[in-house]
Amino acid sequence: MSDLTRTDGQPHDRLTRLCAAMSEALDNHPEHREGDRAIIFLDDGKRGGIQTHGYPNTADAIADLLVHLKALFEANGTTLSIIPIDTIGQG
């Protein structure tokens, strides 16, 4: 796994350190509740940083992200179609 995609739980650059600070702010906010989850994405125009926070696993975070992306598309009058492609066993 490249250094840019590691998931060891530790921020590894400026953007992911900012994501971690946002997660800490969420945890320390007086309205924070147990079970609140977040996906924090930052982009500086050259690259991005993303952090999941409060999710038990990455698959749950990805599922929520896709649901929200679909809603964003619909709010802008377009449709996001997610079509799984099974390539296992196909040459």
Give the distance between the most distant pair of CA atoms in the chain: 54
Token pair 């995609």 in the structure block, residue:
5
This model's pTM is above 0.75: no
- Is the Cβ–Cβ distance between 19 and 51 less than 8 Å? yes
Structure confidence by residue, pLDDT tens digits, 4-45? 455 666 778 899 899 999 999 999 999 999 999 999 999 999
Percent pLDDT > 70 in the chain is 85
Structure confidence by residue, pLDDT tens digits, 67-80? 999 999 999 999 99
Between 81 and 84, whose confidence is greater? Answer: 81
